[in-house]
Amino acid sequence: MERVISGIRPTGNLHLGNYFGAVKSFVKMQDEYDCMFFIADWHSLTTHPKPENIRRSAKTILAEYLACGIDPEKAPIYIQSDVKQVLELYLYFNMNAYLGELERVTSFKEKVRKQPDNVNAGLLTYPTLMAADILMHKADKVPVGKDQEQNMEMARLFARRFNRIYEVEYFKEPQSFHYTAEAVKVPGLDGSGKMGKSEGNCIYLCDDEATIRKKVMRAVTDAGPTEPNQEKPEPIKNLFTFLELVSGKEAYDYYNEQYNTMQIRYGDLKKQLAADINAFCAPIREKIQTYSADDEYLQRVARLGAERASESAEKTLREVRQIIGFR
Ligand code: ADP
Ligand code: TRP
């Protein structure tokens, strides 16, 4: 079975963008692939988070992954920092990674521009740590968004380079993976392109009913269509995308018809959307609360995940050490 590995930086709660863009497909993939999911807490250190945030946010993602339906028996969920072997591979890859190529990575250049007073070596070597995460477990496929494409290219480069330097056919090149043919992009309700944490426009899986209603009712709209069957401007299109995601075809068709015949009342649409988003989130929200309250279970899941990841990591490292010439 092909191995799939996915990492997420623990930077807070999961939102609907994370769910429809990633986690939903993880839940399906766990039945078809040999999946491993991990929480990239080392990667998150580049921004110097507070210790209590590190602890809390790893636990949060763990509970939320479980609530979404990831089954730790099928697919281990582990915390990156629980599997120390990755550090050793990270070190080996760093010896074969060149300053020039690391400096040319777009996301690094962006950080240099945006936070010139915190251009740390961890940021520079972010791609080598990510390559270690992936190659450690010989992943075939890595489900990532467009923004991670360059990091994936670096992982393939480091795999090829290792093979060339040591004249082996050891690491295979991992491929970026899109589970569904069409990438789902969850829009923001503020009329902007994308729902995202840094955009501050998220509906979180853990949001309560009142919060969801408030956020949806605040969604940006316009004065309404001025002629029949006209093309929908961005903010309105976004609302319809949401209808498609959570309300289903019938509701979508109904409001689409209302829009096309210029009878639409955005207030009604929003009320329906708020109710449907809440109906969608409610069972997940309840499970998040249950899992979050069960520290013992969360620890067991993380321990099980770490054990399985360590096994796979230890095997790779034994072979890599030998190839490099240690022992
Ligand atoms: P954020 O920065 O908003 O927390 P991340 O960049 O950490 O989100 O994304 C984690 C995962 O969720 C990635 O796989 C990403 O592609 C997916 N994702 C995030 N936002 C969206 C969105 N609005 N639509 C679709 N997928 C998304
Ligand atoms: N860089 C990824 C992100 O920001 C997170 C990540 C770290 C990752 N290591 C990984 C993703 C390995 C996939 C595989 O979203």
For the stretch 89-142, pLDDT in tens is 999 999 999 999 999 999 999 999 999 999 999 999 999 999 999 999 999 999
Q: Take residue 83 and report the two structure tokens written for it.
A: 């599997």
Cβ 312 under 6 angstroms from ligand 1: no
Q: pLDDT tens, 262-296?
A: 999 999 999 999 999 999 999 999 999 999 999 99
CA of 263 to the centre of ligand 1 (A): 35
Q: Where are the domains of the chain?
A: 3-185+295-324, 209-289
Q: Is 302 helix (H, G, I), strand (E, B) or coil?
A: helix
CATH number for the domain whose boundaries are 209-289:
1.10.240.10
43 Cβ closer than 6 Å to some ligand 2 atom: yes
* Residue nearest ligand 1's atom 9 by CA: 18
Label each residue of 113-167 as H, E or C.
Answer: HHCHHHCCHHHHCHHHHHHHHHHHCCCCEEECCHHHHHHHHHHHHHHHHHHHHCC
Q: Is the CB of 24 under 6 A from ligand 1?
A: no
Closest CA relative to residue 139, chosen from 166, 171, 183: 171
Mean pLDDT throughout 199-210?
Answer: 96
Calculate the alpha carbon distances from 88 to 84, 158, 324 in Å.
Answer: 8, 15, 12
- Note the pTM of the prediction, 2 decimals: 0.95
Statement: residue 41 has pLDDT above 90: yes
Tokens of 111: 């950080």
Q: Which of 151, 153, 178 gets mutated to test ligand 2 (max ligand atoms within 8 A of its CB)?
A: 151
pLDDT in tens, 133-175: 999 999 999 999 888 999 999 999 999 999 999 999 999 999 9
196 lines ligand 1 (CB under 6 A): yes
Q: Which of the following CATH numbers is that of domain 3-185+295-324: 3.40.50.300, 3.40.50.620, 1.10.3720.10, 3.40.50.1370?
A: 3.40.50.620
86 CA distance to ligand 2 middle (Å): 14
For the residues of 182-200, what is the DSSP string, one character each? SPP-PPPTTSSS---TTTT
